[in-house]
Amino acid sequence: MSSVWFKKHFFRSGSSANPGNAESLRRGVEQQLPAAPLYRRPKFLSGVCSGERLPGRRPIYCPPRDRPLQWRTGYAEVINAEKSEFNEDQATCCQISVRRREIGMEEEQDWLILCSNQYLVGYYWALFDGHGGPDAAIIASNYLHYCIKQKLEEVVEGITEAQPPMHLSGCCICPSDPQFVEEKQIQQEDVVIGALENAFQECDEAIGQEMEATNQSGGCTALAALYLQGKLYVANAGDSRAILVQKQSVVPLSSEFTPETERQRIQQLAFLCPKLLADEFTRFEFPRRLKGDDVGQKVLYRDYSMAGWGYKTVEKADLKYPLIHGHGKQTRLLGTLAVSRGLGDHQLKVIDTDIEVKPFLSCIPQVKVFDFASHNIKEDDVLVLATDGLWDILSNEEVAQIGRSFLDENRTDPYRFSELARCLVHRVRGKKNGHQWILDGNSSASYDDISVFVIPLYNRDEDC
């Protein structure tokens, strides 16, 4: 499957006007733009009654019990607390088959059969948290797994050997090629990681093209888990989170990427390319926004080369708005965005300026690998994937404690993983009290969209 084929068949911008239609040509700039992606919920929720959105009520939705997800995966979601009209989260859960490309194979063949047993079968779950509208998350949920399939197929010969060959064709130009690969300690999983990184990049480029063609804007974070050949690959670009919950431990399988966590990378880019700031921002970080009275004083600051803090004499240029400003969840990049990695946002600019935010964003995920062969997986061990709406309220340990207790108390329930996902969403959704959403203890509930996968690892399918 090529990206060109997929975009031609599935992206609305892939179709063009009939060149023989003179009326269309005469319309020029008035010619109708391709339609934006249609809003929808995840495909595996089809048939689930959405109901009417009522004030003070945020219903939780789960897949129907007669159509269980792979591995008996649990899923639950709830829309935000009236922050926006749509649920901007999206989710995907499917199998991905990875096949050898055959010379001369026609591109027009039906490449959408994802469950072929002809070669390797992987299992895929992903969450996308949209911002600036749902469009980027919808495109990513439709497309990222196809990009992953394509990139894996391009290097399939390199992921079937413990040590990938120097040349994908298997030829040996230099007798010492295997030694060079061994010295670099390049292993099978490194090629899979590279394929995932390239897939995220291709998906980001496709989103940019589609959003431009449909005159849309927005972006999304992306968290994807791929089980392939006995290993779990978790790729994260954004502030969603994945944890592995075991009886005695919690293993983080992702790191959040925000302007705070990636401060040095972002500041270094501003140092190397100062024109990106358009003389409107300062790259330096200060504990607070500086004032005119600070000029000439020595104050605490940080630059791209510093993990610690130093003192600098404040100049007038330091009074500009900081490249990164705020603390915790309130931190913003260029006063605009709360995440530093993700997909989309190609059209995003700082309000009332022509300063582009995209150059400071990265679409490349961090990929962590969990090798099942090196761990003793127990019956109640689960992988929890969730958007930040859950983690804003619950810590890793709190989610783990809820999970252990719930699974132990519902050991005979065949739907317990789905019910655990529902339980986690219910814990942070809260209820409306006047203009606020609160939890039972009167603390603040999550106002955000919340999406949660609970993936059991013990009785996983082993046909891949």
Domain assignments of the chain as residue spans, ordered by start:
64-100+118-159+187-255+362-463, 264-338
The CATH class given to the 64-100+118-159+187-255+362-463 domain equals: alpha beta
The whole-number pLDDT of residue 16 equals 38
Q: How far apart are the first and last CA of the chain?
A: 20
Helices 3-10 and 188-213: crossing angle in degrees, nearest 10, is 40
DSSP symbol at 441: T
Please count the other Cβ atoms lying within 10 Å of the Cβ belonging to residue 136. 34
Strand pairing partners for 302? 285
The whole-number pLDDT of residue 170 equals 74
Distances (CA, A) of 282 to 289, 294, 347: 11, 15, 22
Is residue 444 within 8 Å of 437, Cβ to Cβ? yes
The whole-number pLDDT of residue 213 equals 92
| Side-chain half-sphere exposure of 415, counting CA atoms within 13 A | 13
Q: Which helix (H) or strand (E) covers residue 97, if one does?
A: strand 89-98
> What is the signed CA dihedral for 205, 208, 212, 215, rounded to 10 degrees?
150
Is residue 95 within 8 Å of 149, Cβ to Cβ? no
Q: Note the pTM of the prediction, 2 decimals.
A: 0.89
Please give the distance of CA 82 from its chain centroid, rounded to a whole number. Answer: 23
The whole-number pLDDT of residue 82 equals 79
The whole-number pLDDT of residue 254 equals 97
The whole-number pLDDT of residue 40 equals 87
The whole-number pLDDT of residue 239 equals 96
Strand pairing partners for 389? none
349 — phi, psi (to 5°)?
-130, 155
Output the tens digit of pLDDT for each of the chain's 464 residues: 444 544 554 455 444 334 344 344 334 433 444 566 778 899 999 878 655 556 667 899 999 999 999 999 999 999 998 788 899 999 999 999 998 655 444 444 444 444 444 678 999 999 999 999 999 999 999 999 999 999 999 999 888 877 888 888 777 788 888 888 888 898 999 999 999 999 999 999 999 999 999 888 899 999 999 999 999 999 999 999 999 999 999 999 999 999 999 999 999 999 999 999 999 999 999 999 999 999 999 999 999 999 999 999 999 999 999 999 999 889 999 999 999 999 999 999 999 999 999 999 999 999 999 999 999 999 999 999 999 999 999 999 999 999 999 999 999 999 999 999 999 999 999 888 888 889 988 899 999 999 999 999 998 765 43
The whole-number pLDDT of residue 461 equals 60
Q: Which helix (H) or strand (E) covers residue 143, if one does?
A: helix 135-154
128 — phi, psi (to 5°)?
-130, 125
Please give the distance of CA 414 from its chain centroid, rounded to a whole number. Answer: 29
The whole-number pLDDT of residue 442 equals 85
The whole-number pLDDT of residue 57 equals 72
132 — phi, psi (to 5°)?
75, 20
